[in-house]
């Protein structure tokens, strides 16, 4: 799955073949089970077959199924009116807003922050300023930041220093409102060979150097599994600098139980460490239609039953 396409659409591509759910499956969806133990956050498009009426319909359906959080990578691209409408409904439903992407403009297709170019840094800082305003409207505490691509003109250490300097300036902006930038490492081995930030250890080191409560790590477990593995031990080692998690099984980047990762154990570990934040469901669905959406909910119920 192409990361840029995934972020810009805000949802993985789903199969369009209509599949009629069995009566028992439909009954299961209508039972309004209890809330999940952790704040798993779907995204728009994930439940479009059960809630074809649009974003508000999807929020209501997800809340009925026990989800207590939501994330929307493309929130900045929505109108102010729609942002406020979504925020009001989430508040009514008691749902926590997760991340949206702060810096599409400087994240992909250019050196971004690594080159240290003044115009790119200022462009990034303007994206952060804009993000603080959006965050106020939608009650968001976190925004995703991708520092951009590596630049061949400089050694990695110089690039790292440039990224740290830019993030320090951005953190000063965020600290005024309490917004937290979460830096997302994206794997080199399968999806993003040219991006600067590749694994959680690198993100941890950068956040320690920035030294701000407004600059932390987004631990995307799909990417870290591909890049480095050893998920639970890495969670422990980097815990103090992690402010947000995202989910996706590997291979396939679909819901838990479809790949090699033992998400029941991972969720238990995160819960036992006292985590009360959001875990974004930044993945696709392995099957199409209503049947696939119900299978996704079932997979989360199984993994949440630790």
pLDDT in tens, the chain (306 residues): 454 454 444 433 333 333 233 333 333 444 567 999 999 999 999 999 999 999 999 999 999 999 999 999 999 999 999 999 999 999 999 999 999 999 999 999 888 899 999 999 999 999 999 999 999 999 999 999 999 999 999 999 999 999 999 999 999 999 999 999 999 999 999 999 999 999 999 999 999 999 999 999 999 999 999 999 999 999 999 999 999 999 999 999 999 999 999 999 999 999 999 999 999 999 999 999 999 999 999 999 999 999
Give residue limits of the domains in the chain. 35-304
Hey, what are 4's tokens?
Answer: 């840029």
DSSP category for residue 102: S
Q: What's the predicted TM-score (pTM) here?
A: 0.89
Distance CA 67, CA 35 (A): 6
Helix axes of 200-210 and 156-175: crossing angle, nearest 10 degrees: 60
R_g (Cα) of the chain, nearest Å: 19
Q: What CA–CA distance (Å, rounded) separates 20 from 3? A: 30
Domain 35-304 has CATH 1.10.3720.10: no
Q: What six digits make up the tokens of 6?
A: 């995934």
- In this predicted model, what pLDDT tens digit does every residue of 111-164 receive, in sequence order? 889 999 999 999 999 999 999 999 999 999 999 999 999 999 999 999 999 999
β-bridge partners, 183: 145, 217
Are 170 and 182 within 8 A, CB to CB? no
Residue 249, C-beta contacts closer than 8 angstroms, at least 6 positions apart: 222, 255, 256, 257, 258, 259, 260, 261, 263, 283
Classify the phi-psi angles of 93: left when phi > 0, otherwise alpha if psi is within -120 to 50, otherwise beta: alpha
Contact indicator for 59, 86 with CB cutoff of 8 Å: yes
Q: DSSP label at 21? A: P
Tell me which long-range contacts 154-163 makes (C-beta under 8 A, separation of at least 24).
Answer: 154/114, 154/115, 154/116, 158/116, 159/114, 159/115, 159/116, 159/196, 160/114, 160/205, 160/206, 161/116, 162/113, 162/114, 162/115, 162/116, 163/113, 163/114, 163/196, 163/197, 163/206
């Amino acid at each position: 799955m192409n990361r840029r396409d995934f972020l810009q659409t805000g949802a993985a591509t789903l199969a369009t073949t209509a599949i009629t759910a069995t009566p028992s499956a439909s009954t299961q969806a209508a039972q309004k089970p209890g809330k999940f133990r952790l704040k798993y956050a779907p995204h728009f498009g994930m439940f479009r077959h059960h809630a074809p009426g649009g974003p508000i319909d999807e929020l209501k359906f997800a809340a009925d199924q026990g989800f207590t959080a939501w994330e929307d990578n493309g929130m900045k691209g929505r109108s102010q009116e729609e942002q406020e409408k979504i925020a009001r409904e989430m508040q009514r439903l008691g749902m926590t807003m997760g991340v949206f992407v702060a810096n599409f403009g400087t994240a992909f297709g250019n050196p971004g922050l690594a080159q240290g170019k003044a115009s790119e840094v200022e462009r990034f800082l303007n994206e952060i300023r804009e993000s603080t305003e959006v965050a106020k409207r939608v009650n968001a505490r976190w925004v995703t930041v991708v520092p951009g691509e590596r630049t061949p003109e400089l050694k990695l250490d110089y690039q790292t220093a440039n990224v740290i300097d830019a993030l320090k300036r951005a953190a000063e902006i965020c600290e005024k409102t309490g917004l937290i930038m979460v830096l997302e490492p994206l794997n080199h081995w399968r999806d993003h060979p040219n991006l600067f930030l590749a694994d959680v250890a690198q993100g941890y080191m950068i956040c320690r150097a920035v030294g701000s409560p407004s600059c932390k790590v987004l631990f995307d477990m799909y990417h870290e599994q591909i890049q480095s593995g050893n998920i639970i031990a890495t969670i422990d080692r980097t815990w103090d600098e992690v402010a947000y998690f995202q989910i996706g099984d590997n291979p396939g980047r679909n819901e838990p139980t479809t790949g090699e990762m033992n998400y029941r154990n991972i969720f238990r570990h995160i819960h036992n460490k006292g985590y009360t934040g959001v875990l974004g469901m930044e993945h696709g669905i392995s099957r199409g239609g209503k049947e696939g959406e119900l299978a996704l909910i079932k997979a989360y119920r199984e993994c949440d039953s630790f």
